[in-house]
Amino acid sequence: MKRCSIFIILICLFAFLLVSDVKNEDKPLRGKWDFKMEKIWETENAGNDVFAEIRKVASDDKENIYVMDTKNFKIYIFNKDGKFVTSFGKKGEGPGEIKWLINFFLVNNYLIIRDNGKLHFFSRKGKFIKSIIISREIRPRLFIDENTLISVPWMNWRDPKSKSKAFLYNIKDKSKKLLF
């Protein structure tokens, strides 16, 4: 029995050494890899501010770049050449002020900022339009239009038994439609 085990181990080792020869010497199956970085633009400043904690970057159809800095509580706007255009946002609870800068969405002509229990509507140039109070259970993940969003409430990703429901939420009439 001992000889048989040693014989099987030797055959497996020999087979491994025979098969383990490198056949793909860094050559992908389909075409060539091209990971050359190309600088599109850069910026040295954001007005008078220095970036502190960038959490999101987005662009619109006019090639403007929007940068969310949660430490400075601001959204910075740059043109397609990287030139600073403007910034807006102020920590607070008054009209146009943001208590918790959680996320932002570019929807039609609006820039909508998700706050804790509120949605703040700004123009794409940073002019405050309105705020809407929403339930804290509403957690926008995607806007269909300025009145309709998809919400997926928080769930515990570490717990495989944790379940959450996604629903379509209408801001105007506060109706919900279960998606899954």
Tokens of 43: 């910026």
Residues 102 and 124 in one domain: yes
Looking at the structure, do residues 61 and 143 belong to the same domain, yes or no?
no
Over residues 98-125, mean pLDDT: 94
> How many C-beta atoms surround the C-beta of residue 99 within 10 A?
15
Q: Is the pLDDT of residue 21 over 80?
A: no
What is the C-alpha separation between 63 and 26, in angstroms, rounded? 36
Q: How many domains does the chain have?
A: 2
Using CA atoms, how far apart are residues 75 and 78, in angstroms rounded to an integer?
10
Q: Quote the CA–CA distance of 17 and 54 in Å, as a whole number.
A: 49
Q: Is residue 14 part of a domain?
A: no
Same domain, 129 and 161: no
Say if CB 87 and CB 76 are below 8 A apart: yes
Confidence (pTM): 0.73
Mean pLDDT value across residues 40-64? 87
Q: Which of 106, 172, 173, 179 is nearest to 143 (CA)?
A: 106
Residue 6 lies in a domain: no
Each residue's pLDDT tens digit, 154-164: 766 666 676 77
Q: How many CB atoms lie within 10 A of CB 64?
A: 16
Q: Which of 88-92, 163-167, 175-179 shows the lowest mean pLDDT across its residues?
A: 163-167
Same domain (yes/no): 71, 150 = no
| 62, 118: one domain | yes
The amino acid that residue 162 corresponds to is: S
Please state whether 156 falls in left (phi above 0), alpha (psi between -120 and 50) or beta: beta
CATH of the domain at 104: 2.40.10.360
Domain limits at 118?
43-133
Q: Is the pLDDT of residue 22 over 70?
A: no
Tell me: pLDDT of 115 over 80. yes
Residues 121 and 138 in one domain: no
Percent of the chain exceeding pLDDT 70 equals: 79
Q: What is the pLDDT of residue 104?
A: 96
pLDDT digits (tens, 9 = 90+) for 5-16: 676 776 766 666
For residues 81 and 41, the answer to whether their CB atoms sit within 8 Å is yes
**pLDDT tens digits, residue range 139-153?**
899 999 999 999 987
Do 61 and 138 sit in the same domain of this protein?
A: no
Mark whether 65 and 126 lie in a shared domain: yes
- Mean pLDDT for the chain? 84
Q: What angle do CA 78, 97, 136 make, to 5 degrees?
A: 105
Q: Which amino acid is at 16?
A: F
* Mean pLDDT value across residues 77-84: 90
Stronger pLDDT, 147 or 33, i.e. the higher one = 147
